[in-house]
């Protein structure tokens, strides 16, 4: 394996894995009548591609091992958490809405509307693994900074998820808005933490490649856009103010994404 052809072949193997996993998940979704199974597998798609790169690239470096461990830690935690959170609840309402808009024959349509699309997106997000794992430079300050940022993101996201889980499990919380712990400073600490993970992993990749690997910035940029503008904040909050009026006050005093001080509620949140 040499040069661009070798790297392109490894990248193709990563795409083949994400496509295969997406197809199998689609088959399971037909049996379960639940397209939201994709949420449980999303992190597996991304890191699965990264592990393929690590296995197939001609040299396995310490940087590559760092990236594999960081990615696996993020993926396993998120996969287990989403599976636990969604267990027994049926299809998520977001996917129910997609199903309703795409009848008849949604089962087949979901193969490309949901599963193939997310397989390609996951493959794109895996780009820093390909860039960084192929790099032979010694570890440096940028690698350390990236690893610290990624670990911080995993921790921040995990704490936010745990706080929300405890809140929902408390009967006294019924009808209330979660505005405690990390959720006091950002309406979506889980999404902020997730973005930190991917900006951190990208920094590790650039630590190995220099600016020749800066192209892999497509990964954290895409992930941030998805979290803010597509399947994250925008979709979750599209009608929540109508369904839960108290949430409008929460929006007025709490930043959507970047953690910040609590506002007085008279200004529009960022």
What's the rounded mean pLDDT across residues 64-83? 97
pLDDT number for residue 98: 92
pLDDT (tens digit per residue) in 116-168: 999 999 999 999 999 999 888 999 999 999 999 999 999 999 999 999 999 99
258 three-state secondary structure: coil
Report the interhelical angle of 3-32 vs 117-125 (nearest 10°).
140
88, 117, 42, 210 alpha-carbon torsion, rounded to 10°: -170
Residue 269: which pLDDT band, with cuts at 50, 70 and 90?
very low
Q: Do residues 69 and 146 touch, judged by C-beta distance below 8 A?
A: no
In the chain, which residue ranges form alpha helices assigned H by DSSP? 3-32, 37-56, 62-86, 93-101, 106-110, 117-125, 127-133, 141-169, 189-209, 218-225, 233-236, 240-243, 246-253
Q: Do residues 247 and 240 touch, judged by C-beta distance below 8 A?
A: yes
pLDDT (tens digit per residue) in 224-252: 999 998 877 877 777 675 667 788 889 88
Closest CA to 249 of 261, 234, 264, 259: 264
pLDDT number for residue 241: 59
pLDDT number for residue 242: 65
pLDDT number for residue 1: 43
What pTM did the predictor assign? Answer: 0.90
What's the rounded mean pLDDT across residues 67-73? 97
pLDDT (tens digit per residue) in 205-231: 999 998 888 999 999 999 999 999 887
pLDDT number for residue 236: 76
Mean pLDDT of the chain: 91
- The residue among 54 and 264 whose pLDDT is bigger is 54
What tokens does 51 get? 């592990």
pLDDT number for residue 94: 86
Residue 13: which pLDDT band, with cuts at 50, 70 and 90?
very high
211, 257, 42, 118 alpha-carbon torsion, rounded to 10°: -80
pLDDT (tens digit per residue) in 90-119: 999 889 999 999 999 999 999 999 999 999
- All structural domains of the chain with their residue ranges: 3-253
pLDDT number for residue 268: 43
185 phi-psi bin (left φ>0, alpha ψ -120 to 50, beta other): alpha
pLDDT number for residue 136: 85
């Amino acid at each position: 394996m040499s040069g661009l052809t070798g790297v392109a072949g490894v990248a193709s193997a990563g795409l083949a894995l994400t496509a295969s996993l997406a197809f199998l998940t689609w088959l399971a979704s037909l049996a379960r009548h639940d397209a939201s199974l994709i949420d449980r597998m999303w992190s597996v798609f991304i890191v699965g591609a990264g592990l393929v790169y690590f296995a197939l690239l001609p040299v396995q470096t310490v940087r590559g091992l760092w990236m594999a461990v960081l990615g696996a830690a993020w993926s396993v935690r998120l996969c287990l958490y989403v599976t636990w959170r969604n267990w027994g609840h049926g299809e998520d309402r977001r996917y129910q809405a997609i199903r309703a808009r795409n009848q008849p024959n949604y089962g087949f349509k979901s193969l490309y509307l949901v599963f193939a699309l997310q397989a390609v997106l996951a493959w794109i997000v895996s780009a820093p693994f390909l860039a960084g794992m192929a790099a032979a430079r010694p570890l440096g300050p940028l690698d350390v900074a990236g690893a610290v940022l990624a670990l911080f993101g995993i921790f921040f996201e995990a704490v936010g998820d745990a706080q929300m889980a405890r809140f929902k499990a408390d009967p006294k919380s019924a009808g209330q808005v979660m505005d405690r712990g990390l959720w006091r400073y950002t309406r979506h600490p889980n999404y902020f933490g997730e973005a930190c993970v991917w900006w951190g992993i990208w920094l590790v990749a650039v630590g190995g490649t220099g600016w020749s690997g800066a192209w892999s910035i497509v990964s954290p940029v895409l992930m941030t856009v998805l979290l803010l503008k597509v399947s994250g904040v925008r979709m979750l909050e599209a009608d929540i103010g109508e369904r839960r009026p108290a949430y409008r006050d929460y929006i007025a005093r709490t930043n959507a994404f970047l953690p910040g001080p609590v506002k007085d509620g008279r200004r529009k949140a960022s």
